[in-house]
Chains A and B, each alone.
Chain A
Amino acid sequence: MKIRKGFVLRPTLGYTLVVATGDLAGKFKGMIKLNETSADIWRWIDEGKSREEVIANYKETYSVDEATASHDYDQMVGNMRAAGVLESDQ
């Protein structure tokens, strides 16, 4: 799974905002607002970490159990896929 090229993460006033730049800017207008946990998941996916690695990091950073971590991860990925942020998996 890969995040499309061209998104800039910009911490602003307590949130992390995602702004599309370059060629992506024509497709994505406006911004995506991330809180602390969703920004971390975004970054880890962007670093190329697998589902298992992201969930392990998440559990460690936020001291949550496996079920919560995998639920949050799946929800975040679902949101990213719905928003068209991810490159197609093929």
Chain B
Amino acid sequence: MAYVAVSGGEEAIEESIRLLDFYRSGTDKDLETEAIENKLSLLVDRVMSEAGLYAKTLAVLALKQCEGSMEEAVFLLRAYRSTLTRNYYTRVVDTEGMRLTRRISAAFKDIAGGQILGATYDYTHRLIDFDIGRETPAALRRRIAETLAAQAPEDITPCPRVSAELKKEGLIDGFAQSDQAPHDVTVHTLEFPAGRSARLQTLSRADTGFISGLAYSALRGFGQAHPTVGELRCGYAELCLPYPLDETESVYIGEIMITEVECFNAADGKNQLGLAAGYGAVFGRSETKAIAMAVLDRELEAGGPYPAQDEEFVLTHGDSLEMNGFISHLKLPHYVTFQSKLDAVRKRRSAP
């Protein structure tokens, strides 16, 4: 009988989980964690970014555990994060001094410190390279090592932000320096109106697809006009902790790869046209997401009638766990509630 299939679920669940192992087993070839970490690094970056946990080794295990499912990997990392005690908070990260691997401006040709194209897929032709299927990893490594050895390393000096100059000229509306402790949305409920720190944190952890789609809607007309990418930079930012025995000293604990973006929009200043900046910063090399975040930061600051400008709409619907969890919960049994709905419909039909 149909009903039996949904109760007595214990055994069914066990078997279902075993079946997952069957799918995961796939082939005799193994997917080594070292290879995932180093060869699928953009995937790993995205998992860490949406999970809000910078932990490559764990992200790799998560991806391997769930057949490469984005939402499941993010889920695993987030759940693990809940078990960790927070021992320290780092000092505010100065991204101006980050070790750059890439830095471009769509606003100015010449910027102080220069443009560094770095690694980007932007100018590749998206043609499937059939040789990849026959590539030997050792040969590839050797070729890259030889190329590197033939080059003389060049010092990269920390660069001031492109916006710094415009701020000096008073052309851009900046946000006043704030020493207020940020509102941590992982510890406190997001409340509305939300502060900017809560907004930025939420956007930075948001599902890439969700915020990209929203930012796109803003560009297409459901929002302000086309913004300009003032600066996009990728690189390593240093993390430091206050030294417990002497708060004026810091202890360096490592660095994280981030992508940071500043977008400029035309904005009405006091009696004159001005510019306003939107900010985006995300874990890893995740440029579209960082730009989308900067676009939405600006849209939310400006406010307006469109979805991308509606704070509560944007900030409550983009969390990977929340959206996927609630959508998938529809698969759970709803016998009792549906029975109650049926009762209401029947009574309404039979009402005099």
Q: Do A and B bind each other?
A: no
Contact surface of A with B, Cβ cutoff 8 Å: none
Contact surface of B with A, Cβ cutoff 8 Å: none
